[in-house]
Amino acid sequence: MAIMSGAQAVMESLLSHGVRYIFGNPGTTEAPFMVALERYPQLTYVLGLQEAGVMGMADGYARATDTAGHNRVAIAHLHGSAGLANGLSGLYNAYRGGTPLLVLAGQSDTRTYQQEPALWADLVPMARPFTKWATEVLHATDLPMVLRRAFKVATQPPSGPVFVSLPMNVLEESADIESLSPATVYTRTRPDHQGLLRAAELLGAAEHPLLLFGDRVAQSGAQAEALQLAERLGAPVYAVYHSEQVFPTDHPLFRGVLSPWFSTSLHMLREADVVLAVGADVLTPFLYRPRDAFGPTTTLLHLDSSPWAVDMIYAAEVGLVGDPKTGLAELLAEIEMRLSAKHHDRAQERIRTAAQESRQRRETFVAEARASWETDAAQNAPIAPARLTLTLADALPENAVIIDEALTTSPPLHRSLTFSRPGDFYFLRGGAIGWGCGAAIGVALAQPERKVVAVIGDGSALYAIQALWTAARLRLPITYILCNNSSYRILKVNLIRHLGEEATADLAFLGTDLGDPEIDFTRIAEGLGLRAWRVEQSDALRGALDDALNTDGPTLVDVIIDGSL
């Protein structure tokens, strides 16, 4: 026990949990926090100019420290009701994706609540829909206990954000505060053994098995077990709504990202006799479509650390609640005891066939891309997205990490690059755009030995472009590549997918164009402290990328790409 202020108790708790960075944008209600912080040089306050960028920074840092082996929970520090409101889109992404964040917000003095002071609101109900737990601390003596619980809840599978409201008077009051050590909670739970036996029996007998892996495979660190299972079965693998590396994308069994939009994906699902989904929300819809993804004879198995995800939309023959890494290891051991030499030979043949098909898909993609960009160059047309991404693949330095919020340029990006290791790439979670500019900063701080390359659509960048200032302030090794088609092209694409080409042929696509006046991203970037290049002609692309990637500190390349439909 020691006499200290509530604000000091917060700092001591953060330090005890291994916190190094606090990502924030403070206001007056955060004054007690900021004053106390000056006495703790071990904690670095990373200032963002707007809360969307701050939330992206915290999200990127939390996800990249998981890979780097440091403390997983990142701290976002927001200014009361206004700051929390501005940060809700980022909080939504973290909630849908399971990012472990601790969001702290200053709050008015509790003695003023009945007077409804300026910028006051009841913060807990605002945060609750997009958090695992939200609370307000009313007594300084409760701070160590509440913060310890917050760290535990944020990391407990399925992980996710928590919110704590900190009234000014609670931070300012002094009390005899108990020092609480961080809890050591072991969270890997084993799935039910009988269920594992049944799943092993079904997979061992499958003629056409198929594997679906989602982000909770990455969060569990189960990539190696996922690879071993796929190779043992010779089963094709799809990533489902993944935002991190869950399976080596250059492996012949990897078939890409499963999306209900694409008939080829649904064809694969309906042909499979046994489908095992691991750590994934199984085909959560975006727009309405009939729930007919699986064939009438397909058996679905589902292993997940999220009890809610199992059996949520599609009924599973075997639903297993448990840690993906632990569950996959035990499932693989059970399968090994059941598979014969004939099964092994069949799996090897599937892998050989998959390798041939994978090479053919790659060769076809490159050939078609080169044919189209040669035509475009002759006609002085904007740069094809595939030309940008293939050129980037050639220019990319070794050990680079990709931040992907390219959206309509994401498919060619992932076909041009390969991601073989955990932490090689991070993608937007949840769908609320404006994440990438800040996320690149969080990842760069978490993994300072790696070059960070953020490939971002122009529409997405404009949601939080102020984050570039923080990258310049910290002189981080980030290259931002703007995929500039002067539009929210993803909205046009989705509308066509939803209504069909014929129904949208005469539409003006109101509210989707960003031209007139044209946005000058190079001047914006330079004004925020970055070196910047604008590329309009394909023959200048490689030189600009090389210059930007080899320049110390943050850079931006604004690439004018083809946005036609």
Give yes or no for residue 81 having a pLDDT over 70.
yes
Residue 454: predicted pLDDT: 98
The predicted-structure confidence for 287-344, as pLDDT tens digits, reads as follows 887 888 888 899 999 999 999 999 999 999 999 999 999 999 999 999 998 888 888 8
DSSP assigned state of 322: S
- What is the distance between the alpha carbons of residues 391 and 370, in angstroms, rounded to a whole number? 11
Q: Hey, what CATH topology would domain 193-354 get? A: Rossmann fold (3.40.50)
Task: Say if CB 133 and CB 162 are below 8 A apart.
Answer: yes
In this predicted structure, what is the pLDDT of residue 79? 97
The predicted structure's pLDDT at residue 261: 62
Q: What is the pLDDT of residue 289?
A: 78
Give 174-197 pLDDT, tens digit per residue: 999 988 788 788 889 999 999 999
In this model, does residue 173 exceed pLDDT 80? yes
Give per-residue pLDDT as tens, 15-24.
Answer: 999 999 999 9
Q: Express each pLDDT in 373-398 by its tens digit.
A: 777 666 678 899 999 999 999 999 99
Q: Tell me the average pLDDT across 546-562.
A: 97
The long-range contacts involving 327-330, CB below 8 angstroms and separated by at least 24 positions, are 327/190, 327/191, 327/196, 327/278, 327/303, 328/222, 328/225, 328/226, 328/228, 328/229, 328/278, 328/303, 329/225, 330/190, 330/191, 330/193, 330/196
**41-57: average pLDDT:** 98
Domain map of the chain by residue range? 2-177, 193-354, 382-560
Which class is domain 382-560? alpha beta
Instruction: Give 224-253 pLDDT, tens digit per residue.
Output: 999 999 999 999 999 998 899 999 999 999
Q: CA–CA separation, 256 vs 217, rounded Å? A: 16
Read off the amino acid at residue 247: F
Q: Is 193-354 the same fold as 2-177?
A: yes
Contact yes or no for 99/161 (Cβ under 8 A) = yes
Q: What is the pLDDT of residue 110?
A: 96
pLDDT of residue 378: 66
Instruction: Let me know: does 13 contact 40? Beta carbons within 8 Å.
Output: no
Question: What per-residue confidence (pLDDT) applies to 341?
Answer: 86
**Contact yes or no for 459/529 (Cβ under 8 A):** no
pLDDT at 38: 97
With pLDDT > 70 as the criterion, what percentage of the chain qualifies? 97
Q: Is the pLDDT of residue 254 over 70?
A: yes
Cβ–Cβ under 8 Å, residues 300 and 202:
no
Instruction: Summarize pLDDT for 135-169 with one digit per residue, the tens.
Output: 999 999 999 999 999 999 999 999 999 999 999 99
Q: What is the DSSP string of 32-69?
A: HHHHHHTT-TTSEEEE-SSHHHHHHHHHHHHHHHHHHT
User: Which tokens hold the place of 335?
Assistant: 């399968």
pLDDT at 565: 74
Read off the pLDDT of each residue in 553-563 and give the average, rounded to a whole number: 96
CA 430 to chain centre: 8
Q: Band of the pLDDT at 363, cuts 50, 70, 90?
A: very high
Burial environment of residue 145 by CB neighbours within 10 A (0 to 12, 13 to 18, 19 or more):
middle
Reduced to 3 states (helix: H, G, I; strand: E, B; else coil), residue 183 is: coil
Parallel/antiparallel/unpaired status of strands 74-78 and 21-24: parallel
Mean of the pLDDT values across residues 533-548? Answer: 96
Q: What is the pLDDT of residues 471-506, one digit of tens each?
A: 999 999 999 999 999 999 999 988 888 888 888 988
Q: Are the C-beta atoms of 130 and 91 separated by less than 8 Å?
A: yes
Q: Are 56 and 63 in contact (CB under 8 A)?
A: no
Average of per-residue pLDDT values in the chain: 93
In this model, does residue 31 exceed pLDDT 90? yes
The mean per-residue pLDDT over the stretch 519-529 comes to 98
Q: What is the CATH architecture assignment of 2-177?
A: 3-Layer(aba) Sandwich (3.40)
pLDDT tens-digit profile of 430-462?
A: 999 999 999 999 999 999 999 999 999 999 999
Output the pTM of the full model: 0.96
* Of 76-80, 256-260, 373-377, 525-529, the least confident: 373-377
Q: Using pLDDT thresholds of 50, 70 and 90, give the confidence band for residue 67.
A: low
What pLDDT sits at residue 69? 41
User: What is the amino acid identity at position 533?
Assistant: W
